[in-house]
Amino acid sequence: MQNFHRDGICPIRDVLSRLGDKWSLLVLVSLQTNGVMRFGDLQRSIGDVSQRMLTVTLRTLEADGIVERKVYAEVPPRVEYRLTDRGRSLMPYLNGLVEWAQRHADGILESRK
């Protein structure tokens, strides 16, 4: 039997729990599609995410090295977000999931009725 635990941590569960929350995938797809984005632009591109949840999501993705946050010393301060190399390497896998979701969304919604 193959064991997926490393030092008491399951790497699959750990990574997927970080990416599988409600907002991370939308943030990553927005950054991939639009490139470098400011906070307000990201919030508008997603639509219904609160400021607090977007902040938490961006901090988590930054802590994992998937998103880079760059602060410019200007008045008022300008902050931009972009995918890191690690984030860009993740996107082909997430794009497959996004395409699948788009292709099957109508059928899934119908099945839920």
- The whole model's pTM is what? 0.84
Burial string for 9-23 (b: 16+ CB within 10 Å, else e) reads eeeeeeeeeebeeeb
Q: How confident is the model at residue 2 (pLDDT cuts 50, 70, 90)?
A: low
Element spanning 55, H or E: helix 51-63
- pLDDT tens digits, one per residue of 38-67: 999 999 999 999 999 999 999 999 999 999
d(CA 34, CA 54) in angstroms, rounded, equals 17
Q: For residue range 88-105, list pLDDT tens digits in order.
A: 999 999 999 889 999 999
